[in-house]
Amino acid sequence: MKLYYDPITVNCRKVIAGLDFIGAGYDEERLSYFAGDHKLPAYTAINPNAELPALVDGSLKLWESNAILIYASEKAGNMRAYPADPEIRGDISRWLLWESSKWFGGCYVYLVENVVKPILDDVPDQAVLDNHAPTFHAQAAILNDALSGRDWLSADHATIADIAVAAPMHLHAAQKLPLESYPNITAWMSRVEALPCWQKSDPIPHIPPEFLAKLA
């Protein structure tokens, strides 16, 4: 398998952490998100959406980060990362779809306004953040409630659901995600952040120092 990725992006961090968590080996080809490598024909031939990441395995050109996590779990036969029990799998599917359709967008606005814009010498738009806040809080309340009385989302141990749902908030401090009212989320995120796969996939060492300085 070969992974095409840039370790600084949300969905690439998800897949790098996830493949490590699953124990799936892979070759890698690094692209530069900020240089726009993902828009070049060599890459769009693999992922016509011009988005990172993508995985190539033989004739399979797989995009959508959560599909990559499921595929790698099944290929590796990792029944702990992706348990075979239909009820747990149903639950994991729900969280992967929710992450992709709702939570990613819910957190992404904060990433753009509070991380990407400052890096690009632009100014966060408080009106955009204020308008978006109700959407974020509605989604965060759902996640916080789901984590009530449990350590992990879908099983009594971490699964690919936890990796996927944690990814959109991976830079939560720099994103300035308003998490003050969500103790279950912050406690769970600390557990995710303690996972070796999460620590090894930290994007900060890959962010150029001149960009990091703008986030200080």
Ligand X SMILES: N[C@@H](CCC(=O)N[C@@H](CS)C(=O)NCC(=O)O)C(=O)O
175 binds ligand X (CB under 6 A): no
Q: C-beta of 164: minimal distance to ligand X in Å?
A: 9
Identity of the residue, 100 or 186, whose beta carbon is nearer to ligand X in the bound complex: 100
The full 3-state SS of the chain, as one line of letters, equals CEEEECCCCHHHHHHHHHHHHHCCCCEEEECCCCCCHHHCHHHHCCCCCCCCCEEEECCEEEECHHHHHHHHHHHHCCCCCCCCCHHHHHHHHHHHHHHHHHHHHHHHHHHHHHHHHHHCCCCCCHHHHHHHHHHHHHHHHHHHHHCCCCCCCCCCCCCHHHHHHHHHHCCHHHHCCCCCCCHHHHHHHHHHHHCHHHHHCCCHHHCCHHHHHHHC
Identity of the residue, 51 or 162, whose beta carbon is nearer to ligand X in the bound complex: 51
Q: C-beta of 8: minimal distance to ligand X in Å?
A: 9
Identity of the residue, 55 or 180, whose beta carbon is nearer to ligand X in the bound complex: 55
20-49: which residues touch ligand X (CB under 6 A)? 38
From 5, 11, 18, 159, residue interacting with ligand X (rule: CB under 6 A) = 11
49-88: which residues touch ligand X (CB under 6 A)? 51-52, 63-66
Identity of the residue, 11 or 201, whose beta carbon is nearer to ligand X in the bound complex: 11
Which residues bind to ligand X, rule: CB under 6 A?
9-11, 38, 51-52, 63-66, 100
